[in-house]
Amino acid sequence: MRRTALAVGVALLGLIWGGPLISTWRGSFASHMLAHMGVVALAAPLIAIGLSNYSRSWRIPGWAPIIASLVELAVVWAWHMPEMRLLAETSTFVTAIEQAMFLVAGLLVWIACLHQPPHDMRPAAAGAFGLLFTSIHMTLLGALLSLSPRPLYGEGTVTCFGLELSANQDQALGGVLMLLVGAVVYLAGALWLLARLLREPPAISTGHP
């Protein structure tokens, strides 16, 4: 199961980075967003699950999910500033840096949140909160992009998925993809952790007063 998750996650990265999303359709914001969500919300959690065999020996602090979620917030919002988006569109080198930062930020969140002991109340709750917080800020950004009255990432038309879209349509579609994929996956992860936390009995101290 874990090996399969790791293999599928790595294969997804290959498809995203080697396919048309960041090459042929690199000028499309919707294509960028699909690549972004594929990395952080699909490949990253699968790789994190695949690494769980190794993470048993790692000492992940209970506060790590909070820090990791703040790091991902900074990375995601920074790369969606119009100036940074323009740099990534026009430079393959900058695109590589962008995608690498998305992957690292996504892995930090999923590893920190999923690999907390369920029987330990505070770290497990921090893991659920980290995913919930990430879902919230992705929902906010996706809604802002979808509902913006003007395009933030250029003018004219772009081609994506074989369709010709105006800049505003392209941006709105990208925002919807963030809502449908990113926000939903992180929310589902948070709810799963909360359910697991509620099922697990609290740790009982065996020490003597």
**Between 181 and 198, whose confidence is greater?**
181
- Highest mean pLDDT (candidates 87-96, 98-107, 155-164, 193-202): 98-107
For residue 79 the two structure tokens come to 């790369």
When divided into structural domains, the chain yields a total of: 1
Q: What pLDDT does residue 200 have?
A: 65
Higher pLDDT, 56 or 143: 143
**What value, to the nearest 5°, has the Cα angle with vertex 76 and ends 72 and 77?**
120
Which of 140, 139, 170, 179 has the alpha carbon at shortest distance from 152? 170
Residue type, 77: W
159 located within any domain: yes
Q: What percent of the chain has pLDDT over 90?
A: 62
pLDDT of residue 147: 93
Instruction: Please check whether residue 164 lies inside any domain of the structure.
Output: yes
141 belongs to a structural domain: yes
Does the pLDDT at position 176 exceed 70? Answer: yes
Predicted structure pTM score: 0.88
Instruction: List the beta bridge partners of residue 163.
Output: 160
Q: Is residue 143 part of a domain?
A: yes
Residue 28 domain-assigned? Answer: yes
- CA dihedral angle for residue 17, residue 89, residue 68, residue 108, rounded to 10 degrees: 10
Question: Worst-scoring range by mean pLDDT, 90-99, 101-110, 121-130, 140-149?
Answer: 121-130
CA separation for the pair 188, 167 (Å, rounded): 31
Domain housing 179: 2-199
* Averaged pLDDT score across all residues of the chain: 88
| Residue 94 is assigned to a structural domain of this protein | yes
Return d(Cα 27, Cα 154) in angstroms, integer: 10
The answer to whether residue 60 sits within a structural domain is: yes
Beta strands in the chain (DSSP E): 157-160, 163-166
Q: Note the pLDDT tens digit of each residue in 5-64.
A: 999 999 999 999 999 888 888 889 999 999 999 999 999 999 999 887 665 566 778 789
Mean predicted confidence (pLDDT) in 147-172: 88
- What was the pLDDT predicted at 118? 60
Residue 173 is assigned to a structural domain of this protein: yes
Mean pLDDT, residues 104-129 taken together: 85
